[in-house]
A = this chain, B = another copy of it.
């Protein structure tokens, strides 16, 4: 398998990006193509032990930065690491593309300039893999489409189900609609209309779901429009950060609680490992003609390595081919 890693993706590129790629190459033995400014990548690699690894550098002179306006950058920076990297996948020279870069940029480059939509897909969707105490769940769309129609959400459900089967190894993933109440009549107009479509499909639809039940692992595929989905994911992230910061500060505030915190440290470590997004690494952009995994800008090397792991599973699970077949063969 050949995986393209955008070396110019994360907030601190190329340091964690290159280090994560090296970890992945060592762990799985795949060939990793590092795309970006050759000199910067070369320099980063020079300090690492590369014995026996299959690494290739593909030069791309431009970088889509985090603060770039996505549509503009996708149009104007045609030699960016995103363009060059995704074109390698489009042209069959690589199997997947992984980046921790500007999410809007990834969307624009993938859908408008390089890979483009799978035939029959109305709207590509950005998914996140939620690490929950009860296991993992896919949630989509989390921001690619802020205004959606029910038919879009039905396709998100199909694509999310295919991903959950292939990557989360679930035989019959339970799909649920994010809503403000579990009863069938609950939800805004979009949710109510989508509910009918989902109930009439051959997906394993388990009804509406609220955040508490998502955390409790009551569904495997969480379907939502991109606006509410974005609020959901960002609120989860912000609350977790607020609470952990607060706990850290208050524990440090007195010598006795600081000692307690020191003794309890392994417990905090276990908590982090059970719900750490960096253990997942990234979420897929579903509905484009190629495996694309998008990681968090704050990714460290471990997160990058795990994002590459997501890409491997998506390739092995034939996610893109299955979505293509699912959309052309049946009307689910």
Known: A133-B246, A231-B180, A234-B211. A263 touches B257 (CB 8 A): yes
User: Which residue of B191, B214, B245, B265 contacts A260 across the interface (Cβ within 8 Å)?
Assistant: B265
Q: Which B residues lie within 8 Å of A268 (CB)? A: 247, 250
* Distance of A80 from chain B, by nearest CB (Å): 21
Q: How many copies does the complex hold?
A: 2
* A239 touching B240, Cβ below 8 Å: yes
With A189-B147, A211-B237: A180-B264 Cβ-Cβ less than 8 Å: no
Q: Which residues of chain B come closer than 8 Å to A202, judged between CB atoms?
A: none
Contacts of A236 in B (CB 8 A): 235, 239
Residue from B133, B143, B188, B235 in contact with A242 in the complex, judged by beta carbons closer than 8 Å = B133
CB A236 to nearest CB in B, in angstroms, measures 5
A187-B146, A271-B247 are contacts. A257–B264 as well, Cβ < 8 Å? yes
Total interface residues on A, using CB and 8 Å? 57
CB of A254 closer than 8 Å to a CB of B = yes
Distance in angstroms from A91 CB to nearest chain B CB is 33
* A249-288 at interface with B (beta carbon < 8 Å): 250-251, 253-254, 256-257, 259-268, 270-271, 274-275
Contact residues of A: prevailing secondary structure:
helix
Residue in B closest to A183 when the chains form the complex, CB atoms: B69
Which chain B positions have C-beta within 8 A of A270? 250, 253
Q: How far is the CA of A264 from the CA of B260 in the complex (A)?
A: 5
A246 to B241, CA, bound (A): 15
**Cβ–Cβ contact A266 & B246, under 8 A:** no
The CA of A231 and the CA of B211, in the complex, are separated in Å by: 7
Instruction: Provide the residues of chain B in CB contact with A271, threshold 8 Å.
Output: 243, 246-247, 250
Complex CA gap A150/B114 in Å reads: 37
Q: Do residues B266 and A254 form an inter-chain contact, with CB atoms below 8 A? A: yes
A212 close to B238 (CB less than 8 A):
yes
A137 to chain B, nearest CB (A): 13
Q: Which of A8-16, A222-230, A309-317 contacts B (4 or more CB under 8 A)?
A: A222-230
Asked whether A267 lies within 8 Å of B263 as measured between CB atoms, the reply is no
A240 and B243 contact, CB distance less than 8 A = yes
Q: CA A270 – CA B265 in complex, angstroms?
A: 19
A210 at the interface (CB under 8 A from B): yes
Contact B256 A146 (CB under 8 A): no
CB proximity of A267 to chain B, nearest CB, Å: 4
Q: How far is the CA of A226 from the CA of B243 in the complex (A)?
A: 25
Answer whether residue A232 sits at the interface, using C-beta atoms and an 8 A cutoff: yes
A230 in contact with B260 given A211-B237, A238-B212, A239-B235 (CB within 8 Å) = no
Q: Flag A155-190 by CB within 8 Å of B: 1 or 0 each.
A: 000000000000000000000001010000001110
Give me 29 A-to-B residue pairs in the complex whose CB atoms sit less than 8 angstroms apart, sorted by A's number.
Answer: A180-B230, A180-B234, A188-B227, A210-B234, A211-B231, A211-B234, A212-B234, A212-B238, A215-B238, A215-B239, A215-B242, A228-B228, A231-B231, A231-B232, A235-B235, A235-B239, A240-B243, A243-B271, A246-B271, A247-B267, A250-B271, A250-B274, A253-B267, A253-B270, A256-B263, A257-B267, A259-B263, A260-B265, A261-B267
Known: A188-B227, A261-B267. 4 other contacts (CB 8 A): A146-B180, A235-B236, A250-B274, A259-B263
